[in-house]
Amino acid sequence: MSARVAVAKTYKLFIGGKFPRSESGYTYEALDHKGGYIANVAKASRKDARDAIVAARAAQPGFAGATAYNRGQILYRIAEVLEGRRDQFVAEIRAAEGVSGAQASTQVDRAIDTWVWYAGFADKYAQVAGNGNPVAGPYFNLSVPEPTGVVVALAPQGDTGQSLLGLAAVVAPILVSGNSVVVMPHYRQPLPALSLAEVLATSDVPRGVVNIISGNPAEVMPWLASHADVNAFDFAGGALFDWVSWQRDAAGVLARVVAPCEGIPERSLERITAFTEIKTIWHTKALG
């Protein structure tokens, strides 16, 4: 019997709940920590970036209109499905990052716990971030946080411990308040993030709420940063790139920017509120 030829997988983009190849037809090779070939990965183009934003914009109002409790259920379901496929993620993290099985397993645990933590905050963050304001008159005055809209994010690009956990730490807080997101994963270690797209597709996340486009941020992010239909940017992984030029482009379209920082917190209320707007409501008190 002849030896069986292995079927190499091509990891595709995740746009609008579907898995298209790059419009450009280009791919690049994902390598393991020793420089060995693992798989082909779709290399996003300008049109792919635009398509992802269109999908995110179409999905955002419906997701924002869901109840906070329902959004919490959706985020928790991601954790449930991820838990069921943990062996796959452990193997991908080990190959990409060159860490031990125990270290890879710990990263998966922390990623799952991050989704659970943010799921629990979905119907609670408004009570912390909003408040009733004192006024001199027969009125109620309330500050209520609402989602910013469409957010573009760049996952952390560190050497180890980031390929899955870093993506969760960036994407989960964006979703809590009802935003949609277009995210670029770790450029050199994209497989866990692209496998997470399969988790999202089989969980309760509405189509288009999360869009994952792989490729070189230096090539794709300028098109995203200058897009007029984006409301905010999280340049978490931008320190290794010319993110200041992206910030200038974002200023040109009046979008909010969260700058890169050293060490993205896995769980943070501030990362939820970074992508919310405060709406002030006035209401008269009953007289008599």
Domain-wise residue ranges, the chain: 10-284
Residue-level pLDDT at 283: 78
pLDDT digits (tens, 9 = 90+) for 215-228: 999 999 999 999 99
* Full-model pTM: 0.92
Residue-level pLDDT at 249: 96
Q: What is the mean pLDDT of residues 64-86?
A: 96
Residue 171 predicted with pLDDT over 70:
yes
Residue 151 predicted with pLDDT over 90:
yes
**Residues of the chain above pLDDT 70, percent:** 97
Superfamily of domain 10-284: Aldehyde Dehydrogenase; Chain A, domain 1 (3.40.605.10)
Q: Can you spell out the DSSP letters for 36-93?
A: -EEEEEE---HHHHHHHHHHHHHHHHHHHHS-HHHHHHHHHHHHHHHHHTHHHHHHHH
| Helices H / strands E in the chain, number of each | 10, 11
Residue-level pLDDT at 62: 97
Instruction: Choose between 287 and 195: higher pLDDT.
Output: 195
Residue 288 predicted with pLDDT over 60:
no
Residue-level pLDDT at 33: 85
